Amino acid sequence: KSRLILVLGDQLSTDISSLRMADKERDVVIMAEVLAEATYVPHHPQKIALVLAAMRKFALSLREDGWTVAYSKLNDEANTGSIPGELVRHASEFGADEVIATIPGEWRLIAALNELPLVVRQLPDDRFVTSPKEFADWAEGRKELRMEWFYRQVRRKTGLLMEGDAPAGGKWNYDSQNRKPAPNDPRPPVSPEFQPDAIVAEVLELVEDHFVENFGELHPFVFATDRKQALVVLDHFISQALPRFGDYQDAMVSGEPWLWHAVISPYLNIGLLQPMEVCQRAEEAWRAGTAPLNAVEGFIRQIIGWREYVRGIYFLEGPEYTSRNALDHSRPLPAFFWGGETHMRCVREVVGQTRDHAYAHHIQRLMVTGNFALLAGLDPAAVHEWYLSVFVDAFEWVEAPNTIGMSQYADGGVVASKPYVSSGNYISKMSDYCTGCRYDVKAKTGAQACPFNLLYWHFIERNRDRFEHNPRMAVIYRNWDKRDEGQRKVVMEDAEDWLGRLDAGETV
Ligand code: FAD
Ligand code: SF4
């Protein structure tokens, strides 16, 4: 009897566990473009195009390699519109009663597979450097799950940037060298762009027909859609951008979305690149003397540290993680998150760039849109849905801990030891956004006051009970309390007034 081998849209790796377990002669690979996956949040059109184009190309390469692939296109008449539906349909078509899958990166799909009226084996997804079990063992009994400690363990395990038992260069972490604002005339390297081939062009038409109402521009679509192209992106990064990646990792510049970032998260997350190969390439560049240690360590930490860590958190914390709301925030997402008008130039730039490219780098996500959402008390579930929708690299296992945990503190401090909030000063230091903004970043009160300044103190004051005794925040309360009472009152009133105008739907 043949078995069905499920390969999902973010599982496009030839050595994935489901394919390793399969028998080319006997089994049928099932790949399905389904409406349920394309619509459970309003994904950015470029994200849908990337996944569908990469799926089609991957299916083709499997067939060339001798596999039997049953591929359902989105608009095939017989398509049932969901992964379980397609499995059941193909089971009767091929007389199969067993499904072999690699465990999905999302609780929702894991549950859906478990409910199928077929025998289903969900194998571990071992395309990661660590397993959920390893993470759970590490987390067991710890009071705080700090990424840095986990990262050191993974450095030892992989041997990356190790000299015997010691970290290369004598330090585990070189982040203090990685916080420079961009130079005045930044001139980052020009990223590779891929013109649509026949498969991509067909997918772009399909996306135009079905999803053009979703937030985000479809054109120009220049992402890599197969492993060969993804390797071109990686080569480019290692030789052109990595040397300055560390220095300018946190910098933000209007009109320069990519700067010295790798832009490989979409390819890592759908399986076209593997985390260890990417880190090994970076380490080789350091050993060859073409990239400095602060850049290479910072980059490797993002991948074997943060990326592995957030996956560990997602599987450790369980399916209800995405609905946590430790700070009881409930304000709806303002229209400017979907491209509506705002006078805040920083938010406008980051949302505009996201609309055009389905991409923003980490500090833009964390310290502009995320910071605003947290300061303004936006409903974390709505914020989570936004991040899951608008970024090309957004898959729940990685997006949710970053949004619910790191950015919104909605998990009550599992991921972040203190909330990532800042006044306008941080944005002004790290970007050119404040020049040309309607608001004045230096103004602390009054009509011109930067909203980040007003809302920052509003956040601090309204969360006094929770954070005043946090050792990492006590000094903030001391400084705030040193101001005279009248001044504090004006800040709070101006903040309330600003939030009132936001709630009334005025352009703010
Ligand atoms: P670079 O800056 O060049 O970093 C290299 C790689 O490190 C990335 O490709 C990524 O794989 C990894 N990495 C870096 N930071 C993180 C992190 N915090 N968590 C996991 N991996 C990381 N990343 C996603 O891949 N998908 C998401 O849906 C996602 N949502 C986010 C939501 C919020 C609110 C925040 C603050 C961050 C989010 N991130 C997410 C993390 C990070 O912003 C992106 O990984 C990064 O911007 C991708 O661009 P890049 O490839 O150019 O990264
Ligand atoms: Fe953003 Fe404030 Fe700067 Fe305007 S002044 S760009 S709102 S930080």
Q: pLDDT by residue (tens digit) across 346-389?
A: 999 999 999 999 999 999 999 999 999 999 999 999 999 999 99
Check residue 1 and give its pLDDT: 87
State residue 9's pLDDT score.
98
At CB < 8 A and 24+ separation, what contacts does 213-216 make? Answer: 214/42, 214/43, 214/44, 214/45, 214/48, 214/389, 215/42, 215/44, 215/338, 215/339, 215/355, 215/389, 215/390, 216/44, 216/45, 216/46, 216/47, 216/354, 216/355, 216/356, 216/358, 216/390
Is the preceding peptide bond at 220 cis, omega within 30 degrees of 0? yes
Residue 169 lies in a domain: yes
Among the bound ligands, the one closest to the CA of 230:
1
Helix, strand, or coil (residue 184): coil
Atom of ligand 2 nearest to the CA of 438: 4
DSSP SS3 for 2: coil
* Residue 125, token pair as written in the block: 């997804």
Residues 247 and 294 in one domain: yes
Both 339 and 428 in one domain: the answer is yes
The verdict on 240 and 346 lying in the same domain is no
How far is the C-alpha of 350 from the C-alpha of 342, rounded, in Å? 12
Give the number of the atom of ligand 1 that is nearest the alpha carbon of residue 393: 26
What is the 79 CA–ligand 1 centroid distance (Å)?
33
Ligand 1 atom with least separation from CA of 399:
28
Q: Encode pLDDT of 41-82 as tens digits.
A: 999 999 999 999 999 999 999 999 999 999 999 999 999 999
Q: How sure is the predictor about 212, in pLDDT bands with cuts at 50, 70 and 90?
A: confident
What is the average pLDDT value for the chain, to the nearest integer? 97
Kindly state the average pLDDT of the residues 472-487: 96
Same domain (yes/no): 164, 292: yes
Query: What is the secondary structure of 228-293 as a DSSP string?
Result: HHHHHHHHHIIIIIHHHHTTTTT-B-TT-SSTT----HHHHHHTSS-HHHHHHHHHHHHHTTSS-H
Residues 114 and 186 in one domain: no
Q: Is residue 263 within 8 Å of residue 353, measured between CB atoms? A: no
Which pLDDT tens digit goes with each residue over 224-276? 999 999 999 999 999 999 999 999 999 999 999 999 999 999 999 999 999 99
Q: Is residue 257 part of a domain?
A: yes
In three state form, how does the secondary structure of 242-254 look? HHHHCCCCCCECC
Domain membership flag for residue 35: yes
Residue from 233, 402, 420 to probe ligand 1 pocket by mutation (most atoms less than 8 Å from CB): 402
- Mean of the pLDDT values across residues 146-161? 97
Residues 98-135: tens digit of each pLDDT: 999 999 999 999 999 999 999 999 999 999 999 999 99
Predicted confidence band of residue 423 (pLDDT cuts 50, 70, 90): very high
Ligand 1 probe mutation, 302, 353, 354, most atoms within 8 A of CB: 302
Asked whether residue 205 is domain-assigned, the answer is no
Residues 96 and 183 reside in one and the same domain: no
Is 400 found in the same domain as 464?
Answer: yes
d(CA 328, CA 331): 10
326 in a structural domain:
no
Region 418-444 average pLDDT: 97
Nearest CA to ligand 2 atom 5: 441
Question: Ligand 1 centroid vs 265 CA: distance in angstroms?
Answer: 6
Ligand found nearest the CA of 223: 1
* 432 lies in the same domain as 484: yes
Domain assignment of residue 439, yes or no: yes
- pLDDT, tens digit (0-9, with 9 covering 90-100), for 161-193: 999 999 999 999 999 999 899 888 899 999 999
- Band of the pLDDT at 197, cuts 50, 70, 90? very high
Q: What percent of the chain has pLDDT over 90?
A: 98
pLDDT tens digits, one per residue of 311-328? 999 999 999 999 999 999
For residue 479, what are the domain limits? 335-503
Domain assignment present for 344: yes
Per the structure, how many domains does the chain have?
3
CA dihedral of 221, 225, 231, 234, whole degrees rounded to 10: 40
Query: Which of the two residues, 454 and 183, has the higher pLDDT score?
Result: 454
